[in-house]
Amino acid sequence: MAIVVFGSINIDLVTYSQKLPRPGETLHGESYAINLGGKGCNQAAAVARLGGDVQLVGRIGSDDFGRTATALLKENCVSTKHITTDPEANTGLATIGVDNNGENCITVIGGANMAVDAEDVQRNRDLFSRAELLLLQMEIPLEPAMIAADLVRRGGGKVIFDPAPVPRDGIPKEIFERIDIITPNETETELLTGIYPTSHKEATQAAKVLLDRGVQSVILKLGAKGCCYCAPGEMMVPIPPYKVDAIDTVAAGDCFNGGLAYALSQGLGMVEAVQFAAACGALSTTRAGASSSAPTFDQVKLLMKDDR
Ligand code: RIB
């Protein structure tokens, strides 16, 4: 089953320090790294690392970071065939701080990602029309993302939407009706529904708000508390977290979504696919980096076998 990711490609400039600085504070860190990132790119790399059939559609700039990204994409086994080099924009950039507990904070400068438009959809029309699963995030403009979503759904495919980062003015109601599976984390859930899910009851309430807006199914990513799956007319299914030693949570959510798409493409049912995705997300936290932190199929199977 062919998976298409339409999304961002960034270079991540990452600093590792004991703690994250407070506003106005300067502190000495321990090390830094220049990594391949971007939520779209990370999701594509996650599918590729598992052995899935995936194509990434997006833009980079014609700058040094663009050349670095191209080389790293190849290293991560992600095809660059559907990636356009934009002569007028810089490659997307993220500055990321990671502390000793593996927590992070991220600032993204969209650059070429935010120049993505309907032309990118047109150029790849056939690819979108044939896609069986489309992975979207919110680091490219919503309008081309929704044109692609409509093409995929018209062709009988499904759309997995990661509302990350949630735009300041929220997401218009008509967007939800074009999404098959939405996968917010706790903060995104609160921004979208007004409910921060700290309990089973609150998670169910938040999922219901999203289902009432027209989404086909909801997966809430609850970090160290695991995740839960909810569909109309069904009881919410809680999926407990996998126990791992987390050192870096960057891209955990992206590896989750890549894993989810891979599992669905292999014919797994929703609950089994969410369990597989949760294992992918958990394993990614045991490695530093973004795209490069995605686990292999064997690593995921081993964790699922050992943990349960
Ligand atoms: O989800 C993690 C990603 O968010 C990073 O790779 C960074 O590029 C930002 O897009």
CATH of the domain at 235: 3.40.1190.20
Query: Residue 133 falls within a domain, yes or no?
Result: yes
The model carries a pTM of 0.96
Residue 302 located in a structural domain: yes
Q: Which atom of ligand 1 is nearest to the CA of 164?
A: 1
Is there a contact between 61 and 274 (Cβ–Cβ < 8 Å)? no
Ligand 1: atom nearest CA of 250 is 2
Q: How many residues does the chain have?
A: 308
Tell me, yes or no, whether 186 lies in a domain: yes
Task: Return d(Cα 228, Cα 205) in angstroms, integer.
Answer: 12
In a domain, 216, yes or no: yes
215 is written with which tokens?
């989404």
Q: Whole-angstrom Cα distance, residue 228 to residue 220?
A: 5
What dihedral do alpha carbons 16, 17, 19, 21 form, nearest 10°? Answer: -90
Per-residue pLDDT of the chain (308 residues; tens, 9 = 90+): 599 999 999 999 999 999 999 999 999 999 999 999 999 999 999 999 999 999 999 999 999 999 999 999 999 999 999 999 999 999 999 999 999 988 889 999 999 999 999 999 999 999 999 999 999 999 999 999 999 999 999 999 999 999 999 998 889 999 999 999 999 999 999 999 999 999 989 999 999 999 999 999 999 999 889 999 999 988 899 999 999 999 999 999 999 999 999 999 999 999 999 999 999 999 999 999 999 999 999 999 999 998 76
- Which of 8, 9, 39 best tests ligand 1's pocket when mutated (most atoms within 8 Å of CB)? 39
Question: Phi/psi of residue 234, each to 5°?
Answer: -115, 155
Report how far residue 253's alpha carbon sits from residue 282's, in angstroms, rounded to the nearest whole number: 9
On whether residue 187 sits in a domain, the answer given is yes
H/E segment holding residue 7: none
Output the six-digit token pair for 61: 């700039």
Residue nearest to atom 6 of ligand 1 (CA): 37
Cα 162 to ligand 1 centre (Å) = 12
* Distances 95 to 46, 106, 107, 298, 299 between C-alpha atoms, Å: 21, 6, 5, 31, 29
Range of the domain at 161: 3-10+38-89+110-307
Establish if 191 belongs to a structural domain: yes
171 Cα to the center of ligand 1, angstroms: 20
Closest-CA residue, ligand 1 atom 9, reads 38
Expressed in angstroms and rounded, the spacing between residue 69 Cα and the centre of ligand 1 is: 13
Please tell me what DSSP assigns to residue 91. Answer: P
In a domain, 15, yes or no: no
Catalytic residue among 63, 64, 254, 306: 254
Residue pair 160/218 in contact (Cβ under 8 Å)? The answer is no
| φ and ψ at residue 185, rounded to 5 degrees | -85, -170
Task: Name which residue sits closest to atom 1 of ligand 1, judged by CA.
Answer: 251
The one-letter amino acid code at 197 reads: P
The total number of structural domains in the chain stands at: 1
Tell me how far the alpha carbon of residue 37 lies from the centroid of ligand 1, in angstroms: 5
Residue 123's CB is within 10 A of a number of other CB atoms, namely 12
Signed CA dihedral, 75, 69, 19, 300: sign only: negative
Identify the pLDDT of residue 1.
59
> Is 81 contained in some domain?
yes
Task: Give the CA radius of gyration of the chain.
Answer: 18
